[in-house]
C-alpha cells in the first residue's frame, strides 16, 4: 500500500509541475496577445488571433481610449482609430467584433464605462442584419468576462493550461523563429482595427482566378439565412439601442450612430429576398430612438463596380478610405472631401423623404444595371 502511496504522490507532483510549466510557456509566449507580456523578435512578436472577444475586452482596460468604435466586422474593417486621432486628437480604439449584434455592442459599452473614466465618445455602426429576431449570438461572446476587469476562470483555463493553447504557443514560437508567422500584424492592428491588406490581397487573387468575392460573400448570406424572406425585426433589439442611448446620456458620453454603407449588391440582396419594407421600417424605428447618419443607399460610393476593390473588400465590408469619409461627414471635418450624396443625418422630419429618394435612385440604378440585378436574383433562386 505504501508503494502505491509513493507512486500517487509522485504522479501528483509530476502533474503539478507539468501544469506550472505549460502555464508558464503559454503566459510568456502569450499566443493570443492578451497578457501583454514582453515580445521578442524570432520568438513571439507575431500572435495568433483566435480570441478576438477576449483580447478586445482586455484592451479596453489596458488602453483607456477617449473614443471607442462599436460595431460588427464592418466597423472593425472600415473605421481607422489612427485617422480619427489624427484629425481630432482623441485616442481611439476599434471594438468592432465579428458576428456581433446590438446586445454585444451594449455589453462592451457597459464594460468600457465601468473600467474607463477617460471615455468621452462612442461611434456606433449598426447593421440591418443584426436586428433580425433570429440572429445567432457569437460563440466567442462570454458576458461573464465583462463583469470584471480581471480574467475569469474560464479564460485563464483556456489560454493557459489547455492543449490547444500549448499547441498555439508552440506554433507561434516556431513560425516566428522561421519568419513564417503572418498573424496579428497582418490581421488585427494594435488599435483594434483590421489590416485590410490581407483580405484585399486574397480577394484580388480570387477575382483573377475567376471568383468574385462580392457575389460569393452575398451568396453565403443567402445560404445561411442572414438575408431571407423569413427576416423579422426584433423589438428587443430596438429596446437595447434605447438602452445604449440612455447609457451614453447618463455618463456624459457623446454618441454618434450611423448605418453602415454596404455595397449596392447587398441592398439588391435585400430587394431579391423581398424584405425591403423591413429595411425601411428598420430606419423608421431607429429615428424614433435617435438621430442617425445613413450611409446606405445607391450613391457614388456604394454603386462602385463590383469588379474592383477601390472602395470595398466585398459587398459587405467597406475599406478604411470610406471609413475616413464617414468620420469626416459625422465630425463635419473637411466636408468638401466627402461626396455630396454620401451620408444623410436622418431625423423624424426627413425620414420619409429620404426613403423615397433611395427608392428612386434604386430604380434608376437597377435600370442601368440589369445584368447585376439578375445575377443577384439568380443567387437567391
Instruction: Examine the pLDDT at 276 and tell me if it is beyond 60.
Output: yes
In a domain, 20, yes or no: no
Give mean pLDDT, residues 278-297: 98
How high is the pLDDT of residue 1? 56
In a domain, 176, yes or no: no
How long, in residues, is the chain?
381
Q: How many CB atoms lie within 10 A of CB 113?
A: 18
In a domain, 44, yes or no: no
How high is the pLDDT of residue 183? 58
Find the domain containing 315 and state its range. Answer: 52-149+191-380
In a domain, 247, yes or no: yes
Quickly state the pLDDT bin for 262 (edges 50, 70, 90). very high
pLDDT: is 184 or 171 the higher one? 171
Give mean pLDDT, residues 172-199: 78
Give mean pLDDT, residues 181-207: 79
Cα pseudo-dihedral 377, 206, 297, 253, rounded to 10? 130
Instruction: Examine the pLDDT at 3 and tell me if it is beyond 80.
Output: no
Look up residue 190 and give its three cell numbers: 494594435
CATH of the domain at 65: 3.40.50
pLDDT in tens, 106-134: 999 999 999 998 999 999 999 999 999 98
Give mean pLDDT, residues 67-91: 96
Q: Which residues contact 90 (CB under 8 A, 6 or more apart)?
A: 65, 66, 67, 84, 120, 121
What span, in angstroms and rounded, lies between the C-alpha atoms of 107 and 247? Answer: 11
In a domain, 12, yes or no: no
User: What mean pLDDT value characterizes the chain?
Assistant: 92
How high is the pLDDT of residue 181? 63
How high is the pLDDT of residue 251? 97
How high is the pLDDT of residue 48? 78
How high is the pLDDT of residue 227? 95
Closest CA to 315 of 251, 235, 222: 222
In a domain, 177, yes or no: no
Cα pseudo-dihedral 77, 79, 85, 88, rounded to 10? 170
What span, in angstroms and rounded, lies between the C-alpha atoms of 306 and 320? Answer: 17
Residue 188 Ramachandran class (φ > 0 left, ψ -120 to 50 alpha, else beta)? beta
Quickly state the pLDDT bin for 6 (edges 50, 70, 90). confident
Q: b or e along 277-287 (b: 16 or more beta carbons within 10 Å of the residue's beta carbon)?
A: ebbbebbeebb
Which neighbouring-strand residues pair with 345? 293
> What's the per-residue H, E or C state across the chain?
CHHHHHHHHHHHHHHHHHHHHHHHHHHHHCCCCCCCCCCCCCCCCCCCCCCHHHHHHHHHHHHCCCEEEECCHHHHHHCCHHHHHHHHCCCEEECCCCCCCHHHHHHHHHHHHHHCCCCCEEEEEECCHHHECCCCCCCCCCHHHHHCCCCCHHHHHHHHCCHHHHHHHHHHHHHHHCCCCCCHHHCECCCCCECHHHHHHHHHHHHHCCCCHHHHHHHHHHHCCCCCCCCCECHHHHHHHHHHHHHHHHCCCEEEEEECCCCHHHHHHHHHCCCHHHHHHHHHHHHCCCCEEECCCCCCCCCCCCCCCCCECCCCCECHHHHHHHHHHHHCCCHHHCCCCCCEEECCCCHHHHHHHHHHHHHHHHHHCHHHHHHHHHHHC
Cβ–Cβ under 8 Å, residues 185 and 46 = yes
Count of domains observed in the chain: 1
In a domain, 372, yes or no: yes
How high is the pLDDT of residue 130? 93
Radius of gyration of the chain (CA): 23
CA distances from 37 to 26, 44, 160, 171 (A): 10, 10, 13, 17
Q: Rounded to two decimals, what is the model's pTM?
A: 0.91
How high is the pLDDT of residue 88? 94
Q: Which residue in this structure is represented by grid cell 423623404?
A: 353
In a domain, 170, yes or no: no
How high is the pLDDT of residue 36? 80
Amino acid at each position: 500500500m505504501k508503494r502505491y502511496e509513493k507512486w500517487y504522490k509522485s504522479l501528483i507532483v509530476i502533474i503539478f509541475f507539468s501544469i506550472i510549466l505549460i502555464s508558464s510557456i503559454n503566459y510568456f509566449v502569450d499566443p493570443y496577445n492578451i497578457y501583454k507580456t514582453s515580445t521578442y523578435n524570432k520568438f513571439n512578436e507575431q500572435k495568433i488571433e483566435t480570441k478576438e472577444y477576449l483580447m478586445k475586452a482586455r484592451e479596453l482596460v489596458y488602453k483607456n481610449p477617449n473614443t471607442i468604435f462599436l460595431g460588427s466586422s464592418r466597423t472593425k474593417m472600415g473605421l481607422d482609430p489612427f485617422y480619427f486621432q489624427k484629425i481630432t486628437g482623441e485616442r481611439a480604439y476599434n471594438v468592432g467584433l465579428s458576428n456581433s449584434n446590438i446586445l454585444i455592442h451594449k455589453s462592451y459599452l457597459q464594460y468600457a464605462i465601468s473600467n474607463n473614466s477617460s471615455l468621452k465618445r462612442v461611434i456606433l455602426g449598426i447593421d440591418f442584419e443584426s436586428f433580425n429576431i433570429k440572429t445567432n449570438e457569437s460563440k466567442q461572446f462570454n458576458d461573464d468576462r465583462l463583469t470584471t476587469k480581471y480574467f475569469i476562470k474560464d479564460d485563464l483555463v483556456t489560454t493557459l493550461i489547455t492543449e490547444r493553447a500549448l499547441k498555439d504557443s508552440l506554433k507561434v514560437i516556431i513560425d516566428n523563429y522561421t519568419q513564417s508567422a503572418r498573424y496579428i500584424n497582418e490581421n488585427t492592428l494594435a488599435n483594434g482595427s483590421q489590416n485590410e491588406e490581407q483580405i484585399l490581397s486574397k480577394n484580388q487573387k480570387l477575382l483573377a482566378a475567376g471568383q468574385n468575392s462580392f457575389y460569393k460573400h452575398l451568396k453565403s448570406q443567402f445560404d445561411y439565412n442572414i438575408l431571407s424572406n423569413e427576416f423579422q425585426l426584433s423589438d428587443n433589439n430596438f429596446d437595447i439601442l434605447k438602452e445604449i442611448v440612455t447609457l451614453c446620456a447618463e455618463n456624459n458620453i457623446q454618441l454618434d450612430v450611423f448605418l453602415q454603407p454596404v455595397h449596392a449588391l447587398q441592398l439588391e440582396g435585400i430587394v431579391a429576398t423581398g424584405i425591403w419594407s423591413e429595411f425601411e421600417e428598420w430606419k423608421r424605428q431607429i429615428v424614433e430612438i435617435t438621430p442617425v447618419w445613413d450611409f446606405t443607399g445607391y450613391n457614388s460610393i456604394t454603386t462602385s463596380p463590383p469588379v474592383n476593390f477601390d472602395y470595398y473588400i466585398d459587398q459587405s465590408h467597406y475599406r478604411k478610405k470610406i471609413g475616413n469619409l464617414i468620420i469626416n461627414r459625422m465630425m463635419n471635418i473637411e466636408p468638401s472631401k466627402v461626396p455630396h450624396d454620401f451620408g444623410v443625418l436622418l431625423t423624424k422630419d426627413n425620414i420619409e423623404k429620404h426613403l423615397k429618394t433611395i427608392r428612386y435612385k434604386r430604380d434608376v440604378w437597377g435600370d442601368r444595371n440589369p445584368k447585376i440585378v439578375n445575377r443577384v436574383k439568380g443567387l437567391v433562386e
